[in-house]
Structure 1
Amino acid sequence: MAEEKPVTTMEEHQVPTSSSDVPYSEDEPATVYDVQWRTLMAILALSMANCCAAIANTTNTIIRSQVADLGDSALSSWVANSNLLVTLAFGPVLGSLSDRFGKKWFILVAALFGITGSVIAGSAHKTTTIIAGNVLTGVANAGCIMGVPAAQEVTPNRLRPWTMGFSQALASVAVIAGTLGAGAFVKYQTWRWSYYLNAFVYGTTAVLVGLFYHPPPPGLRRQQATAGQLLARVDYFGMLLLTGSIASLLIGLTWGGTTYAWHAAPVLATLIVGCVGLLGFGIYEWKGTVNGIFDHRLFASRNFPILLFVCIVDGMLLLGVNVLFAQEIATTFTTDSVRIATILTPFLATSAFGCLPAGIIMARTKSYRTLLVACLLWCSLFTGLMALLNENRLSWAYAFSALFGAGTAVTTVIPVVALALSVPSFLLGTAGTISVSCRALGGIVGITIFTAIYDNKMAAALPVDVGAVLGQAGLSNLMPAVMAALATENPAALATVDGLPASLIPTIVAAEATANSFAWKYVWIAISVIVAANAIVSCFLQPVANKMNNHIESALEASDVRDKQMGAKV
């Protein structure tokens, strides 16, 4: 696939924001800027902040155990979505503020929220308390995800792929450890220790960031703007409209098909309010302001909106699959928590160990589009092949998940780096948190859509398959009782159905397995189609080779560049 001609420089795309703005240059430093131990330790600390957001989601793989222990199974979808919803709503808001006032204290305060939320969830005696704790960790993750743009700010542009590859590899290793740990905790101790492990990671992050991350004032502050001027330019109305609309939309998506039917008034009302609000937010950001959350300078090239779409689908693939694949393993292969984590490991491992090579390839070739499109098509192929799984094909699950996991390593690293090189460096916080929020949105939408597909197909197939077994045995009158027993997800429940011969139970279980495989098949087909569409969209991305230079947005090493950046008004 031939690359297009390089995009023009940022200076040629400056969008005026106000008469008081001072032109901002992204020229390369006049002297050589050497990356030394201060930068490396800061990258490690900021990558740990990224790990917080990643490892917090590993508790979603043991939701079944949490709900089985505490009850309120109808609230199970909120255990996962409460965290993602808050992260999605507040991420862009905190990112926009951090570009103006710095990222360090946002990350530190967020880590404290994470410690508190994790302890609350871990000590919960009600499912609603877990949800409350996850709301706090959602706020924490909205701040901690700023570790991604902050790590790129302290890295010269040409080295950003290396930094992102390392950061995502570390986060992926944390996910593997968290997933395996969660399974082991459930089997040998209690699910609560999974949350306490998260609290430890948040605490470690706070210490490392406090010790090693000492950035100069952010780029917007260095435009000779006072704190009062920066506060006056904060898009308060946009923030309120965005968070309210997203909250309304995602509440409706979470309620639909679980708490209420999709056509119920509360679901329709929240969905309509959310969609209308987001439409109004888009119009306001387009026509009502030029330096709001979606600062017009972010759209200097078409890469920004395209890559946001790529991130949404990547969230559906990465977050959605992480949650749903664990559920499929539990319904198809085993309910043993350690074995579930073990079966997930090939997908997580190839996704982890492919991150750094993906960054290295981009750094050395200064090209990314062909690699991204190829990997999306690769993921589409093997997620499609996952539709062939059944209870007798565990080895296929290992192989196919490992293969598309390798593709997700590229889709996780490359789009974030390309996005960071396609926008002004002084807006990296806004762009980075928006992209991560898009991933969270993709995860929520993906989980909702794919769960609805599974539930609908299961509801259609299970009565037919079980009814055929009972009808052949002349026991059709037991249909309501058998279906009720299957709904409990308790393997022993069928033995309590009056009049059901024990010899018929294995056949009913086999019929349930057949219906289950049928339902999951359509989930994987839907994922494959969506990922293929993402590959087509990615063909229209523009190259960023001309931006992969020696510019350093936030210099940490003692140098003329740092002296100049530290000379800004405070």
Structure 2
Amino acid sequence: MAVAKADEQRADKQAEPQPRSVRVVLLALMIAMLLAMLDNMIIGTAMPTIVGELGGMEHLSWVVTAYTLATAASTPIWGKLGDMYGRKGVFLTSIVIFLIGSALSGMAQDMNQLIGFRAVQGLGAGGLMVGVMAIIGDLVPPRERGKYQGMMAGVMALAMIGGPLVGGTITDHLGWRWSFYINLPLGAVALAAVTAVLHLPKKERSQGSIDYLGAALLTVGIIAIVLVTTWGGTEYAWGSAVVLSMITLGVAALIGFVFVETRAADPIMPLHIFRSRNFTLMSVIGFLTGFSMFGSMVFLPLYQQSVQGASATNSGLLLLPMLLSMMVVSLIAGRITTQSGKYKIFPIVGGALMVVGLFLMAQMDTGTSRTTSGVYMAVLGAGMGFLMQITMLVAQNSVEMKDMGVASSSTTLFRTLGGSFGVSVMGALFTDRVQEEMAARGGAAAAGATQHSAQLDAASLAKLPDAVREAYQYAVSSGTHTAFLLGSVFAVVGFLAAFFVKEVPLRGSGPQSPDVKAEDEAAAAPSPSGV
């Protein structure tokens, strides 16, 4: 056992690329990652203009939903394809599909075309995120991966902050179609760079054919779940026949998926990866982190715009305390992980900070200053910084190299589904709370102002009478209180789950263990027979 462990660590060390070449490749990967993350931020700012030109206000939500559905449903499939046919070719294919979807979306002539082309774009986006994570898993051993966590956190911060600003500027000066066309030059750079500099070490590939039945059942299950979280409480009541039918379909498809995967010769998502306690825990923690994080990030700008009077154009800057905190903490945690090989403390501390941060944000009201809310956001951001990359690192370290793709895609999928549930459930509670408070404090006139939507834009808010506007601001602060409080409850579950993580040594560089060193010396020593 010790000899095998020594051989594995020596092989990992020999396969490690030089730091300079890794940085060059990572730069290309970060551009591709930026494409997927920046897109939704830019499009969100451009949506009012798009609806104004193409019409189809009743189908507005499907512009986002089609993208989300395609991304979530394709994520596990991209991961498996990378394991089977090689990471580089599959990743380049996903970039091409994303760029085709972007170009077609920019040329859309009506809302139905735009929705269809956004689905194509989302299909490619599913491969972008998984490809980046899996390639990093192939290139950089877990022990060394912490060095580069700050880069990934920085890309997320850049997308969150720059997206709305870039989207607003492009829409105002070049037109909404360039919100999609801007992906083309970035994508061309990513394609050229990945093609030229990405040289992956040869690894054992997963053999066999694609599990089409398993892929179909998983896709149906994911689509049903996302539709439930998208429609529930908004398009349809939670107890409506449509939502209940989607829940039934989703549960049946996922049960069928598990049944098929236990018998498939080459499953699309091998269930044996969940035998690892750490991998299963990281999937759970990733889901809960996505629930709390994405739900919170939806309501923070709304609170600051509606209650604190901030500008919608600069909404990305409002998240700066949280995103900078996340980036700095992620970088520090990564460095410590690289130097020490220890990581169990980070999910625990991160979970605790997320609970505290969300609970503090639940205390915000109409009198909370921007400075105070900024401090609360920094606490939440620190918690996210400890969790965002560590969950992926531990998950990848818990599987064999041939399953790196499905491990990366599964972890990404659980985080995506957690975010979808978080936005939906928090959104339903927020809307109910706002409408209740508006009816209680402002009477019929106030209740009528939020009859169609609990989220009023700046123009609608400015038109309200002073008394109704004050009632709305109180109602929004009350609604965000409920949403953040729910997020803190889910974060508590993630915090408790982190205590059960087992600290398994990370593969790759770092100080050699005494056992490995002894095996190296034994291998080098001559045998008694002189052979």
- Is structure 2 residue 364 aligned with structure 1 residue 364? no
Distance, in Å, in 2 between the alignment partners of 1:290 and 1:28 is 32
- Is structure 2 residue 20 aligned with structure 1 residue 45? no
SS in 1 for 2:234: coil
Give the aligned partner of residue 35 of structure 1: 18
- Is structure 2 residue 252 aligned with structure 1 residue 270? no
Report how far residue 143 of structure 1 moved.
1.1
Give the aligned partner of residue 420 of structure 1: 396
Query: How far does the alpha carbon of each residue in 1:232-262 deviate from its partner, in whole angstroms, 9 at most, with x for none?
Result: 3x32221111011111222232222222222
Report how far residue 187 of structure 1 moved.
6.0
Distance, in Å, in 1 between the alignment partners of 2:219 and 2:47 is 29
Distance, in Å, in 2 between the alignment partners of 1:30 and 1:436 is 24
Distance, in Å, in 1 between the alignment partners of 2:421 and 2:255 is 17
Distance, in Å, in 2 between the alignment partners of 1:118 and 1:517 is 37
Do the aligned residues in 2 keep the contact of 1:462 with 1:511 (CA within 8 Å)? yes
Give the aligned partner of residue 512 of structure 1: 472
Kindly report which structure 2 residues correspond to 1:280-359, keeping only aligned pairs within 5 A, or say none. 280-285=256-261, 287-289=262-264, 291-334=266-309, 336-359=311-334
Give the aligned partner of residue 211 of structure 1: 196
Do the aligned residues in 1 keep the contact of 2:438 with 2:472 (CA within 8 Å)? yes
Give the aligned partner of residue 420 of structure 2: 444
Give the aligned partner of residue 75 of structure 2: 91
Kindly report which structure 2 residues correspond to 1:68-147, keeping only aligned pairs within 5 A, or say none. 69=52, 71-124=55-108, 126-145=110-129, 146-147=131-132
Q: 1:408 to 1:434 in 2, by over 3 A?
A: same
Give the aligned partner of residue 202 of structure 1: 187
Report how far residue 507 of structure 1 moved.
1.2
Give the aligned partner of residue 544 of structure 1: 504
| Structure 2 residue identity aligned to 1:540 | F
Distance, in Å, in 1 between the alignment partners of 2:197 and 2:275 is 33
Do the aligned residues in 2 keep the contact of 1:113 with 1:137 (CA within 8 Å)? yes
Query: How far does the alpha carbon of each residue in 1:79-100 deviate from its partner, in whole angstroms, 9 at most, with x for none?
Result: 3332222121111111111101
Report how far residue 193 of structure 1 moved.
3.9
Give the aligned partner of residue 363 of structure 2: 388
- Is structure 2 residue 143 aligned with structure 1 residue 161? no
| Structure 2 residue identity aligned to 1:46 | L
What TM-score results when the alignment is normalised by the length of structure 1?
Answer: 0.80
Q: 1:176 to 1:352 in 2, by over 3 A?
A: farther
Kindly report which structure 2 residues correspond to 1:391-540, keeping only aligned pairs within 5 A, or say none. 391-393=366-368, 394-467=370-443, 489=456, 505-540=465-500
Alignment size in residue pairs:
506
Q: 1:110 to 1:479 in 2, by over 3 A?
A: closer
SS in 2 for 1:288: coil
| Structure 2 residue identity aligned to 1:547 | R
Report how far residue 300 of structure 1 moved.
4.8
SS in 1 for 2:465: helix
Distance, in Å, in 2 between the alignment partners of 1:484 and 1:50 is 39
Report how far residue 516 of structure 1 moved.
1.5
SS in 2 for 1:401: helix
| Structure 2 residue identity aligned to 1:86 | A
Do the aligned residues in 1 keep the contact of 2:143 with 2:338 (CA within 8 Å)? yes
Structure 1 gaps, min length 5 = 1-7, 13-24, 222-229, 468-475, 497-503, 552-570
SS in 2 for 1:292: coil
Distance, in Å, in 2 between the alignment partners of 1:174 and 1:432 is 21
Report how far residue 273 of structure 1 moved.
0.2
Do the aligned residues in 1 keep the contact of 2:273 with 2:279 (CA within 8 Å)? yes
| Structure 1 residue identity aligned to 2:400 | P
Give the aligned partner of residue 17 of structure 1: none
Kindly report which structure 2 residues correspond to 1:174-213, keeping only aligned pairs within 5 A, or say none. 174-185=159-170, 190-213=175-198
Kindly report which structure 2 residues correspond to 1:4-15, keeping only aligned pairs within 5 A, or say none. none
Q: Which 10-residue stretch deviates more, 108-117 or 306-315?
A: 108-117
Do the aligned residues in 1 keep the contact of 2:350 with 2:387 (CA within 8 Å)? yes
Do the aligned residues in 1 keep the contact of 2:36 with 2:125 (CA within 8 Å)? yes
Distance, in Å, in 2 between the alignment partners of 1:297 and 1:139 is 26
SS in 2 for 1:371: helix
Q: 1:482 to 1:402 in 2, by over 3 A?
A: closer
Distance, in Å, in 1 between the alignment partners of 2:98 and 2:228 is 26
Distance, in Å, in 2 between the alignment partners of 1:253 and 1:187 is 32
**Greater relative CO (CA pairs within 8 A, separation 6+):** 1
Report how far residue 267 of structure 1 moved.
1.9
| Structure 1 residue identity aligned to 2:11 | P
Distance, in Å, in 2 between the alignment partners of 1:9 and 1:237 is 40
Do the aligned residues in 1 keep the contact of 2:434 with 2:472 (CA within 8 Å)? no
Report how far residue 279 of structure 1 moved.
2.1
SS in 1 for 2:267: coil
Aligned-pair Cα RMSD in Å: 3.2
| Structure 2 residue identity aligned to 1:323 | V
Distance, in Å, in 2 between the alignment partners of 1:377 and 1:443 is 19
| Structure 2 residue identity aligned to 1:536 | L
Equivalent residue in structure 2 for 1:376, among 348, 351, 372: 351
Do the aligned residues in 2 keep the contact of 1:61 with 1:179 (CA within 8 Å)? yes
Do the aligned residues in 2 keep the contact of 1:62 with 1:337 (CA within 8 Å)? no
What TM-score results when the alignment is normalised by the length of structure 2?
Answer: 0.86
Distance, in Å, in 2 between the alignment partners of 1:9 and 1:331 is 61
Equivalent residue in structure 1 for 2:213, among 191, 216, 237: 237
Do the aligned residues in 2 keep the contact of 1:315 with 1:441 (CA within 8 Å)? yes
Do the aligned residues in 2 keep the contact of 1:184 with 1:337 (CA within 8 Å)? no
Distance, in Å, in 2 between the alignment partners of 1:391 and 1:453 is 19
Report how far residue 345 of structure 1 moved.
2.3
Query: How far does the alpha carbon of each residue in 1:377-425 deviate from its partner, in whole angstroms, 9 at most, with x for none?
Result: 1111111111222344232222211221122122111111111111111
Query: How far does the alpha carbon of each residue in 1:65-85 deviate from its partner, in whole angstroms, 9 at most, with x for none?
Result: 356635545444433332222
SS in 2 for 1:385: helix
| Structure 2 residue identity aligned to 1:132 | G
Distance, in Å, in 2 between the alignment partners of 1:51 and 1:191 is 19
Report how far residue 319 of structure 1 moved.
3.0
| Structure 2 residue identity aligned to 1:172 | A
Distance, in Å, in 2 between the alignment partners of 1:39 and 1:154 is 7
Report how far residue 50 of structure 1 moved.
2.5
SS in 2 for 1:412: helix
Distance, in Å, in 2 between the alignment partners of 1:539 and 1:131 is 43
Equivalent residue in structure 2 for 1:259, among 235, 238, 248: 235
- Is structure 2 residue 45 aligned with structure 1 residue 59? no
Distance, in Å, in 2 between the alignment partners of 1:31 and 1:330 is 51
Distance, in Å, in 2 between the alignment partners of 1:30 and 1:72 is 54
Report how far residue 203 of structure 1 moved.
2.6
Report how far residue 460 of structure 1 moved.
1.7
